[in-house]
Amino acid sequence: MPTYRFKQVDAFTSRPLFGNPVAVVLDADDLTDDQMQRIANWTNLSETTFVLKPTIAGPAYRLRIFTPAHELPFAGHPTIGSCHAIIEGGIVTPKDGRLVQECGAGNLPLRIESAGAKRRIWVEAPEAKLMGEHPELSSSLPEVLEAQSLNRRPRRHSATALTGSSSDSRPSPK
């Protein structure tokens, strides 16, 4: 049974266990869609990514993103965390601080600054697309939003724009 390199990365932080986690399976070209879905279910994180060779000239790599239930065309923290893991794993090297990632939403430009825990990565997100309408929710949505605004305290958010820590392990699909 093959073995695959695996990293769990905390995106949006430089401190382990303080970021948004993503599981990253490196060199995943031999995995089937079903195996990827089973691994994503096994990791039980909001997203698990699979790094593959690009299918076209230009991008440095291709990324597939799975939740425990289905595949996504794009997601922000998995894109950023995976880019960090790919660079850290020596799979790609940015050219002039830039890479292009192929994914279900197209080819996305990434900008990379610094290295290690100080690395910062920016992605140019794809244009949002309406995936479906839910008219049955239209009558209750204003009530939910109003209730949320009444119960919400002002919050201040700051974010370190990326990177993270990672740990290696080796999952093996059955």
Catalytic residues: 47
* 26, 91 Cβ separation under 8 angstroms: yes
CA–CA gap between residue 60 and residue 76 (Å, rounded): 18
Q: Can you list the alpha helix ranges (DSSP code H) found in the chain?
A: 33-43, 76-88, 141-151
Q: What are phi and psi of 95, to 5 degrees?
A: -105, 120
In the chain, the DSSP E strands lie at 6-11, 20-25, 48-52, 61-66, 71-72, 98-103, 106-113, 120-123, 166-169
CA–CA gap between residue 85 and residue 21 (Å, rounded): 12
Q: What are phi and psi of 85, to 5 degrees?
A: -65, -40
